Structure formats: C-alpha cells, structure tokens
C-alpha cells in the first residue's frame, strides 16, 4: 500500500491575507507586515490579521449566537477550516478527522475572564467551556458537521506540525481516509507580550526589518508575535487534485538543560530532519523553510543542524517570520503554506536582508521545520505533483 499523503487543500488567515493570490503577491513583496500597537503598556511590534480576514472572522462570529462567546483562536480556526474543506470538495457532513492545535489556546478570552475574577471574585458561567484547549477542534467539528474524531493539543510552537504527524498516522492506520489538520493562535495580548519580554527575546528594533530571522550575525534577539490560523486537508494516496505530497516525516525530542533550551547544534532538528529524509537523496531537497523565530540562539542552532545534515551543499534557506512574526502553534502550518506556494510557483522566496542565495533549478522538494519549548522538533518533506505523461497511442 502506498504511504504517500496528498495535501488536497490549504487555507489560512494571517497578516498576509486569506486568498492564495494575495498571499503569494505579499510574499513577492519585500515588505513586512508588522505594526506598532499599544500592548504591555508600551508601543509594541506585532503582526495582526489583514482587514479582510478580520471582516471574515467578524461575520462568522455574528452568524450564530453561540459563536459570540468564542475566543479568537477558535474563530480563526473555524474560518480557515471552512475555506479548506470547501476547496477540497469535502461534504460538510462527511467523515473526516480534525486535529487543530494551539500553543496557548483561548489567550485573549482566558485573560479577560481571569481579570474579571480578580476584580469581582466571580467567574462567568462560560469561562471554563470557552477556554479549554479542546474547544478549538470541537467547535470546528460542530461548524462543519463532521462525524469523525476531533483532537486538540498543544506542543508549543511545533503544534501544527505535530497535528500533521497525527493526521498522517491516522491515515496510514486506515482509521479514516481524510484528515483536517493545522494550528491557530491569537497571542497578541498584554500578558503574552510581557512573557516574551521577560524572556528577553522580543524585538525592540527600529530597523527597517525589526525581526531579523535568518540574520545569523545579529547581536540582539528580534522575535515578534503574529496571529493567524492555517489548516490543510490530507487524503491517503496520490490524488489528482493534490497541491503537494507529504513524502517524509520526522520528529525528535532532546533532553533539556532548562525550560526553553536547545542544544548548540539542535540535536532534535538533526534527528527529525534525518528521519524525514531517510528515503531521499539530499541533493533532491531544493529548499528548507526554517523555524527561525528571530532569536540569536534559535536561528543559529537550527542553521548548524542543517549544516550537519546537508554538509557543504546546503539547500536554499528561508523563513516567513521576518514578514509575519511568530504565530506560535500556527507557525508550522503557515510554513507549510509557504513551501506549497513555492512548489506550485517553482520560485524560491528568500529573506531580503539575509545572505543572497541563487535559485539554479526548479523547486521540486521542500523541507519544513518547526520546534517549540521542550525541544519538540518536527520536519516534513513536501514534493510537487509531477505532470502525468501522456499515454502512448497504439496504431
């Protein structure tokens, strides 16, 4: 039995927009999508959803009285999932699995409920059911009227790619033949920003590019938070409508020295990449979409891990975090989106301030990396569907 998995649809809401054409055009631009907002009692860089995406979310929330009490992270996931399922041609009442995770879940809503409790000593009736992590996939399942399994989880910043691992496992086990997977995050709150500042990893830069992801010579940490959701539809086997194929998956966890540590050469990434590439000639990998959050240690250790795997013949290296920031649990799937777009367009999208890289051939295979607090790394190898050769005519 073939173990190939088809990505038959992909949809997202992010600072880049929600329409594939617009998203690609925004990737071609050298502009970033950061703006200053008054958070954490000061002007702070962040990346918010574009206006059209915000309108989509507002209309979704107003469409059902039950949706008015939901957190942004849930609404983002619901909006993206509607688009993906429609693009894949799945019937709303068909059987498919759902695994959409989040690093922090109902961030904004939880903070509001907790603040109200501190002020009044009372909790709202819906405080618990609307802030649990399982809230995300269960509401997506309700909205789509799916009858398959519904799973939510948090594995910090590698959450979305762990959802992909889970979807692949269910498909290969034959328990379902379709799975909707991804991540959603709405982390732009005072308390979350304050936590990142406490770690001394948040950008205070006034440079043209305040997030210096993939600048391996940077002197200061430059992470910036963004919000968004990204999901994709997975189907078993080689489908005619596939946007891309999942050829390899890898995962690893490393022993930690402290809560946010990663080894000097990112041992977890070395293991996850090696696993994902075990059946692949390394020369066939054209590009790597790195996790590269914009921190000094995070970017450099991942780069060293890539060097360990590929040696002197490095693939093209890129990331999207210089443009839209770090979307925590959604980031891995937004990286998959960039990879799929490059595969479709046969064009590499680089980082404008990083060391120049020359594309010398068509983009056919792209490796995507993600890792989170806890040293939980995931690597996924994607390939482009090749055109079917014409059948020979018999005289």
Tokens of 152: 């939510």
- All structural domains of the chain with their residue ranges: 5-236, 248-383
Give the list of residues 6+ apart from residue 76 with CB closer than 8 angstroms, or none. Answer: 13, 49, 57, 184, 185, 186, 227, 228, 229
pLDDT at residue 389, rounded to an integer: 53
Q: What is the pLDDT of residues 80-91, one digit of tens each?
A: 999 999 999 998
Q: What is the DSSP string of 143-166?
A: HHT--S-EE---BTBTHHHHHHHH
Report the C-alpha gap between 333 and 157 in whole angstroms. 10
Q: How far apart are CA 340 and CA 94, in angstroms?
A: 26
> How would residue 314 be classed by pLDDT, with cut points 50, 70 and 90?
very high
What is the pLDDT, as a whole number, of residue 388? 56
Identify the three-state secondary structure at position 191: helix
What does the pLDDT look like over 139-159, one tens digit per residue?
999 999 998 999 999 999 999
Q: For residue range 114-130, what is the model confidence (pLDDT) as tens digits? A: 999 999 999 999 999 99
pLDDT band at 263 (very low <50, low <70, confident <90, very high): low
For residues 246 and 298, give the distance between their C-alpha atoms in angstroms, rounded to a whole number.
26
Q: For the whole prediction, is pTM greater than 0.85? A: yes
* CA-wise closest residue to 200 among 105, 292, 294: 294
Residue 81: what pLDDT?
Answer: 98
Nearest Cα residue to 385 out of 235, 243, 236, 237: 243
Q: Is it true that 5-236 and 248-383 share their CATH fold?
A: yes
Written as six digits, the tokens of 8 are 């038959």
Q: Which CATH architecture has domain 5-236?
A: 3-Layer(aba) Sandwich (3.40)
Mean pLDDT of 338-345: 98
CATH superfamily of 248-383: Thiolase/Chalcone synthase (3.40.47.10)
pLDDT of residue 259: 44
Kindly give, in sequence order, each residue whose CB lies less than 8 Å from that of residue 242, ignoring residues fewer than 6 positions away: 6, 7, 8, 235, 385
Give the strand pairing for 287-289 and 316-318: parallel
Is residue 62 helix, strand or coil? helix
* Strands across the sheet containing 287-289: 150-151, 97-101, 178-185, 228-236, 5-13, 244-253, 376-383, 365-372, 287-289, 316-318
Confidence label for 95 from pLDDT (cuts 50, 70 and 90): confident
For the segment 25-32, the average pLDDT, to the nearest whole number, is 97
Question: How many angstroms separate the CA atoms of 213 and 226, rounded?
Answer: 14
The strand pair at 365-372 and 287-289 is best described as parallel
Burial classification of residue 3, based on how many CB atoms lie within 10 Å of its CB (0-12 exposed, 13-18 middle, 19 or more buried)? middle
Rg of the chain over CA atoms, in angstroms? 20
pLDDT, tens digit, 9 for 90 and up, residues 176-210 = 999 999 999 999 999 999 999 999 999 999 999 99
d(CA 350, CA 28): 9
| Closest alpha carbon to 331 in 201, 230, 223, 187 | 230
CA distance 215 to 355: 8
Residue 134 banded pLDDT, cuts 50, 70, 90 = confident
CA distance 370 to 165: 12
Phi-psi region of 11 (alpha: psi -120 to 50; beta: other; left: phi over 0): beta
Contacts of 317 (CB under 8 A, 6+ apart): 214, 287, 288, 290, 303, 306, 354, 357
Averaged pLDDT of the chain: 93
| Whole-number percent of the chain with pLDDT over 90 | 87
pLDDT value at residue 394: 44
Q: What is the pLDDT of residue 237?
A: 94
Closest by CA to 153, choosing from 179, 134, 178, is 134
Contact between 145 and 92 under an 8 Å Cβ cutoff? The reply is: yes
Residues recorded for the chain: 395
pLDDT at 2 over 60: no
Characterize 274-285 residue by residue with b for buried, 16 or more Cβ atoms within 10 angstroms of its Cβ, and e for exposed. Answer: ebbbeeeeeeeb
Mean pLDDT of 224-237: 97
């Amino acid at each position: 039995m073939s173990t190939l998995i088809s990505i038959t649809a992909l949809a997202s809401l992010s600072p880049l927009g929600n329409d594939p054409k617009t998203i690609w055009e925004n990737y071609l631009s050298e502009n970033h999508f950061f703006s200053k907002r008054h958070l954490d009692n000061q002007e702070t860089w962040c990346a918010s959803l574009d206006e059209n995406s915000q309108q989509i979310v507002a209309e979704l929330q107003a469409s059902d009285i039950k949706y008015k009490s939901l957190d942004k992270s849930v609404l983002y996931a619901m909006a993206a999932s509607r688009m993906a399922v429609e693009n894949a041609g799945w019937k709303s009442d068909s059987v498919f699995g759902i695994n959409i995770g989040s690093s922090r879940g109902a961030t904004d809503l939880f903070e509001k409920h907790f603040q109200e409790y501190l002020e009044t000593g009372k909790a709202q009736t819906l405080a618990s059911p609307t802030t649990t992590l399982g809230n995300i996939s269960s509401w997506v399942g309700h909205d789509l009227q799916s009858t398959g399994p519904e799973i939510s989880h948090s594995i910090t910043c590698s959450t979305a790619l762990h959802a992909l691992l889970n979807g692949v496992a269910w498909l290969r086990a034959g328990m379902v033949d379709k799975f909707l997977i991804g991540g959603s995050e709405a982390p732009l709150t005072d308390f979350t920003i304050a936590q990142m500042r406490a770690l001394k990893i948040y950008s205070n830069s006034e440079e043209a590019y305040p997030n210096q992801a993939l600048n391996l010579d940077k002197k200061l940490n430059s992470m910036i938070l963004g919000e968004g959701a990204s999901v994709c539809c997975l189907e078993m086997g080689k489908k005619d409508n596939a946007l891309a194929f999942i050829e390899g998956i890898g995962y690893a966890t490393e022993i930690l020295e402290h809560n946010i540590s990663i080894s000097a050469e990112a041992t977890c990434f070395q293991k996850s990449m090696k696993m994902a590439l075990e059946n692949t000639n390394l020369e066939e990998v054209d590009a790597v979409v790195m996790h590269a959050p914009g921190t000094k240690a995070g970017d450099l250790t991942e780069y060293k891990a890539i060097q360990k795997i590929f040696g002197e013949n490095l693939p093209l290296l890129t990331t999207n975090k210089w443009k839209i920031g770090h979307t925590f649990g959604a980031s891995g799937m937004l990286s998959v989106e960039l990879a799929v777009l490059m595969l479709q367009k046969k064009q590499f999208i680089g980082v404008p301030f990083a060391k120049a890289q020359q594309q010398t051939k068509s983009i056919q295979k792209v490796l995507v990396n993600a890792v989170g607090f806890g040293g939980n790394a995931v690597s996924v190898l994607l390939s482009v569907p090749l055109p079917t050769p014409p059948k020979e005519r018999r005289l």
